[in-house]
Amino acid sequence: MIFGDHMTLAQLNSRQTARIISITGPVALRQRLVALGVLKGHTISVAATSLFGSPRTYSVGKQQVCLRSKEAGYIHVELQA
Amino acid sequence: MSPDESAALSFSDGTDLSSSDNSAFTIALIGNPNCGKTSLFNQLTGARQRTGNMAGVTVTSREGNCEWRGVEFHFIDLPGVYSLSNSRVEEKVARDYLIDSPPDLILNVLDASNLARNLALTTQLMEQGLPVVLALNMLDELEKQGHSVALGSLSESLGLPVLASDGRSKKYLPELLEQLLVVCRTEQCAEQGLHIEYEPHLEQAISELEALGIVRWMAVRWLESSGENDFNFDANQLSAAQSALALLGSRHDEDPAEMVAQGRYGYIHGLLHKSSSEHRDQSSADHWLDSIALNRWLGIPVFLGLLWLMFEATFTLGGYPADWIDTSVSWVGEQVASLMPESLLKSLLVDGLIAGVGGVLVFLPNVVLLFLFIALLEQSGYMARAAFLTDNLMSKVGLHGKAFVPLVMGFGCNVPAIMSARTIEEPRARLITILINPFMSCSARLPVYVLLAGIFFAEQAGTVLFALYMLGILVAFGVAAVLARTIPEQHDETFIMELPPWRMPSIRSLLLHVWDKAGDFLRKIGGVILVGSVLIWLLQSFPQNGTPWLEQLGHFVAPLFAPMGFGWQETVALLSGFIAKEVIAASLVVVYQTGMSDMAGLQAAMGESLAPASGLALMVFTLLYMPCLATIATIQRETGSWRWVGVSILMGLVLAWIGAWIVFNLASIWI
């Protein structure tokens, strides 16, 4: 699934909001994200960045989830206006 | 319960009283991490336990009883889980428990301020057809967000009893217990499992498996876990399941877990649309505290500042009650001394028991304060944020963000801290976390620091404490870095962690926690420290004519410690400290006994015989040298090998000696 404005969550800037279009990566990672309620179609934005740029916390729905940039790279998003 | 069994039951009893002749019921508490489940469990059972704010602090389930109107409820606190289908340890514990020994009833605790995700677990329980009662926590937080949930309407749509609960107060408790009793008595729960309509291809796979005699919920669970949840399918069923999974994989980019979750969340959103006032998932997670605590540049300075404040407050605030205890202890000592005739028994009481036990008792306020601050960090939700801030650093030394909780818990006591490392699944990261934990300065070492810092660095005592804890952390990280390069990594563990919302800690549970820790400390004083003090006194008093054994022993080993300027007294104290670290303080008090039984006398005596640089070196040695007996036993149990115990002891002794030597020499130049 490649779209014109395709990017991964790791590339999202701190002021941007995006929508999750697909999640790839190891099965254990995908299952864990699903269990936390990080699903396709959800709106996601960067909430906080740690000193070295990874991990970052993201707001998804009513929660904040911490991800290292490696894991965030498996989440494909499209920018939202 | 299969239809046959339930038929047999109602037949033999004739009425629906099938379970009312029972006066005891087992109820399992289950819920997402941070949903307030353990607080509710404490309210229900009165058990004095801690609520961890991070996933998986409760790895093994806890149990407790409660009597309500003549009926005995046996509560089991299952580990906090987001789901039942993942391959994680805590989920496996909960999953196996529910299948192998199903309780009479499940009390599913939900965080009302994040209802949709919390209900996802509920749908798994309902699909499994288990008897469930829902308890909604944090309703006040939801109201603060300007939302509300109609409990009645939610209950109606789900077909389950839905009740309010609160881990911080007992106001909802009678109603909750009453409802539990009613449900247990009548078994008025859904007999049939919940049926969620999934995506067509998934439904096709499920019905294929159902045709082979697999129960629907098992089919769903097997597919969503990609076969990880093993339900003892026979060869025929297993091959059908595997080909169904392969077919699904070829038709969809999504993982079956995602497809199942879409179905679950679809069902949940339908429910909430009817019974909840919120229509959009607004990002209510934002909090002004996070703009400081998680700020990219401020985050780490604020974290360090908080730690410094914590140790400063531990020392200064603890000082006042410590003075009162000191005064009382020396008063008792003087009374006993003046009432008794000169004898060996009097010496045992005054110079052994009262001096040794009193010498440690004085530090009770400091220890209690430290535990209070750690509990505050945990319950407020700051601990998870600190884990986020330090993850990058941790990953550089082969550790995992999850190692943060065991490490900070180590400031309290290394024993539970090492046990909590079970939540780390990758074996290497877990082993490293266990081995470096003794360098996290436990509260038992605090009396030694407070005593010595008070003597030599009274003005900057808080800063000295902070520096010691920091040194412990640095050594721990250094050792971790070395271990990470020598032990092979087994598999990568991902760092995905939910940041719990900020929460006002409940005064009641903080007080319970502190009360509990104070009790532990007092028991330790009454046990190992009392025995240690008497032992030290014995060795100090005999033989009565000649050099006491203790001094002989001290002089024998002292050359080893001479480079740091320790006398035989310090040597003996360090030797005794391997039983328990508090004994070091008790020993110093006993061996330095100067006829004066209060702290001022001891401080004067120690200040005279020991150089400040040696005092600092003694603190460093105490910080780093071998784990205490209880910790050694725990390391052995958790790693299952004496080899790692040997590594831990040797590493500690060598590092302590080198560290103390360096500190002594540096300090001798500057002080």
Model confidence over B80-130: pLDDT tens digits?
899 998 877 778 888 988 988 889 999 999 998 889 999 999 999 999 989
**CB < 8 Å to A49, chain B:** 296
Closest by CA to B150, choosing from B34, B283, B279, B273, is B273
**Residues of B annotated as binding site?**
31-38, 42, 45-46, 77-80, 137-140
The whole-number pLDDT of residue B588 equals: 86
Q: Which band of pLDDT confidence, cut at 50, 70 and 90, is reported for residue B598?
A: low
Give the whole-angstrom CA distance, residue B661 versus residue B671.
Answer: 15
Model confidence over B438-491: pLDDT tens digits?
999 988 899 899 889 988 888 888 899 999 999 999 999 999 999 988 888 776
Which chain A residue has the Cα nearest residue B116?
Answer: A37
Task: Evaluate whether residue B530 is within a structural domain.
Answer: yes
Task: Evaluate whether residue B270 is within a structural domain.
Answer: yes
Note the CATH architecture for domain A6-80.
Roll (2.30)
Task: Evaluate whether residue B493 is within a structural domain.
Answer: no
Same structural domain for residues B327 and B434? yes
Task: Evaluate whether residue B509 is within a structural domain.
Answer: no
**CB < 8 Å to B381, chain A:** none
pLDDT at A2 over 80: no
Bridge partners for A67 per DSSP? A56, B496
Same structural domain for residues B599 and B475? yes
Better-scored residue on pLDDT, B136 or B148: B136
Q: Which band of pLDDT confidence, cut at 50, 70 and 90, is reported for residue B38?
A: confident
Please state the ipTM of this predicted complex. 0.92
Considering only the beta carbons, identify the residue of B114, B296, B497 that sits closest to A51.
B296
Model confidence over B550-584: pLDDT tens digits?
888 888 888 889 899 898 889 989 988 888 888 88
Q: Which of B131, B158, B186 is the last residue of a domain?
A: B186
pLDDT at B10 over 60: no
CB–CB of B281 and A61 under 8 A?
A: yes
Considering only the beta carbons, identify the residue of B265, B285, B494 that sits closest to A64.
B285
Q: Which of B153, B186, B219 is the last residue of a domain?
A: B186
Task: Evaluate whether residue B38 is within a structural domain.
Answer: yes
Strand blocks (E) in B9-54:
24-31
The whole-number pLDDT of residue A69 equals: 92
Minimal C-alpha gap between A18 and chain B (Å): 13
Minimal C-alpha gap between A7 and chain B (Å): 17
Q: Which of A62, A69, A74, A80 to mutate to test the interface with B (most CBs of B within 10 A)?
A: A62
Strands A43-49 and A17-23: antiparallel
CB–CB of B498 and A39 under 8 A?
A: no
Same structural domain for residues B204 and B166? no
Which chain B residue has the Cα nearest residue A74?
Answer: B494
Which residues are within 8 A (CB) of B502 and not within 5 positions of it... i.e. 6 or more apart? B287, B289, B290, B380, B381
Better-scored residue on pLDDT, B11 or B380: B380
**What is chain A's length?**
81
Which residues are within 8 A (CB) of B21 and not within 5 positions of it... i.e. 6 or more apart? none
**CB < 8 Å to B290, chain A:** 47-48, 64
What CATH number does the domain containing B163 carry?
A: 3.40.50.300
**Residues of B annotated as binding site for Mg(2+)?**
42, 45-46
Split into its structural domains, chain B has a count of: 3
Q: Which of B186, B215, B230 is the last residue of a domain?
A: B186
The whole-number pLDDT of residue B551 equals: 84
Number of H helices, E strands in chain A: 2, 6
Q: Which band of pLDDT confidence, cut at 50, 70 and 90, is reported for residue B171?
A: confident
C-alpha neighbours within 13 Å on the C-beta side of residue B415 = 12
Task: Evaluate whether residue B417 is within a structural domain.
Answer: yes
Strand blocks (E) in B480-526:
496-499
The whole-number pLDDT of residue B6 equals: 34
Report how far apart, in Å, the C-alpha atoms of B206 and of each of B69, B87, B243, B248 are: 45, 21, 12, 11
Considering only the beta carbons, identify the residue of A30, A37, A68 that sits closest to B495.
A68
CB–CB of B285 and A63 under 8 A?
A: yes
Bridge partners for B67 per DSSP? B72
Q: Does B63 touch chain A (CB under 8 A)?
A: no
Same structural domain for residues B649 and B580? yes
Minimal C-alpha gap between A46 and chain B (Å): 11
Range of B427's domain? 300-487+514-670
pTM: 0.83
Model confidence over A50-60: pLDDT tens digits?
998 989 999 99
What CATH number does the domain containing B207 carry?
A: 1.10.287
The whole-number pLDDT of residue B7 equals: 33
Our CA angle for B368, B64, B93, nearest 5°, is 100
Considering only the beta carbons, identify the residue of B226, B281, B392 that sits closest to A52.
B392
Same structural domain for residues B87 and B210? no
Task: Evaluate whether residue B194 is within a structural domain.
Answer: no
Same structural domain for residues B395 and B446? yes
Determine if the peptide bond prior to B627 is cis (ω within 30°). no
CB–CB of A32 and B494 under 8 A?
A: yes
Same structural domain for residues B138 and B204? no
Give me the mean pLDDT over the B236-262 stretch.
Answer: 91
The whole-number pLDDT of residue B385 equals: 92
Give the whole-angstrom CA distance, residue B322 versus residue B454.
Answer: 12
Looking at every residue in chain B, the average pLDDT score rounds to 84
The whole-number pLDDT of residue B57 equals: 42
